[in-house]
Chain A
Amino acid sequence: MSLRAVNAIYTYEMRRFFRTMAQSFISPVISTSLYFVVFGGAIGSRIDQVEGVSYGAFIVPGLVMLTVMTQALSNASFGIYFPKFMGTMYELLSAPISFLEIVAGYVGAAATKALFIGVVIMVTASFFVEMQIAHPLAMVAFLLLTCLSFALFGFIIGIWADNFEQLQLIPLLVVTPLVFLGGSFYSISMLPPFWQTVTLFNPVVYLISGFRWSFYGQADVPIAVSLLAIAGFTALCLLVIWWIFRTGWRIRQ
């Protein structure tokens, strides 16, 4: 593996991010604040407490996950789709690098951006609510794995997409609903029993539950299951990418 090539892709991608630093920084801050005003303020004043945590604090992990997932996904899918769209893919294909460097560079950059925004949201949130982090190591692990796995997933989508509609199709049709229904803003136990069962088929539930556990020590599903879910998802994405790499699918003529 050529580390210089990985570094070249990574810094090139990160520069794009820092070029629009103000936007990258301001928009998550504003949207987080809005969530706190709407959910925390308006709804939270009626809900009071969820599982012994104030509603405002309760939604922080879900909010961070929601943003991190969508950001990692869209950054990675756009990052690799863009060279295809602009025709600059020729450069990646004719360079003395394998798919490994390409994945490491693009996914690494997308995951870093998502992580950055996740941290910004947590810091913003700390101005609105009392937060505590019960298991800091687990929290970091969950956050990193989520950034990584969703960036990998985004990379796959970016390779698969032939146009901008397709690029947005999966995030819009699959990921956003799953994330919203994944317990970002409520506890699964608040749902009627039937919907609780249905929800267990939503993989995002496990991530949000595990992440919330690392903050407040409570989870909708056992923490081991959450860890298994995120690890499994990462492995699945890696497997698909390995297959793409082997076959040159949608990349090499």
Chain B
Amino acid sequence: MILSVRDFAIGFQREGQNLVAVDGISFDVEAGETFVIIGESGSGKSLTGMSIAGLQPPTAFVSGSIRFKDREMLKRPDAELRKLRGPEIGLIYQDPLSSLNPVWPVGDQIAETLVAHGLAGRAEARKRAVEMLERVRIPDPRRVASAYPHEISGGMRQRAMIAMALAAGPSLLIADEPTTALDVTIKAQMLELLAELKHEMALTIILITHDMGVVAEVADRILVLYAGRIAEVGPADSIMLQPSHPYTAALMTSAMISQTPAKQELNAIVGGAPGLGAFPAGCRFHPRCPRAQNDCKAVEPPRRKFGVVELACHHPIEAAMSLTAARS
């Protein structure tokens, strides 16, 4: 086990009120797996992902525990967390163009990770930057290394971001919607690349996404977040093919029915996800849940084991009927 999250909560103070965005979630990530976090916009995916690297917003309050390789991340001073970012944890993001520094050549930005951590001298770091670009299958690594971010294509930029995140040899890669800004073919190439790199570099990947297509492609295990709580967590096959939680089932069905872009798929479920500070009592999904009953409105469902998955639902769908139930 490389990562262990326990009762992790994060929130913000707004107008004297404590607004809890992620409300006591627990999960483990095994070394070498691709762990996917899915959920609608605002469900707390990015906050969770960033907090693992100690990059939660400075205005946020946090509680619980995030242990990465037996180090507690939440109470660690930033100076120590910095030593882990790069050599232990790499991060990539949705928008590679604005995520790269516009006034630095790409190669220098990759090399900087090595230099800043004292892993290589300037010249050596530059050489390794070109090697990294080659490693992420960039055909002309030398040219790209000396190019500025705006001079290369979107797909190249995301590859360069990956090269940068992996340059210092981390064991964990946190990818926050890395394919959302890319078109379909590039997206497929990127997923393939991640899968290969994961193998070559013995990576553990935490992938945050909206995109069910991406999930199906790469996930070993899936965590479904809804309004800052865990709806369901378990092996990818079981969650994708036989969802037990009504919310997951709704996600999968809408993904199957509509071939529309990922973002809309998730939001195709009737109604919208509740905003921060407006989470309903009982089960947070109950206003939108086709299976909701009276107990759902009053009592928050506890997390429990259900077959091979763990979920929080009073009336989960039995395996045999899961998809039909969701459609009705």
A binds B: no
Chain B positions near chain A (C-beta within 8 angstroms): none
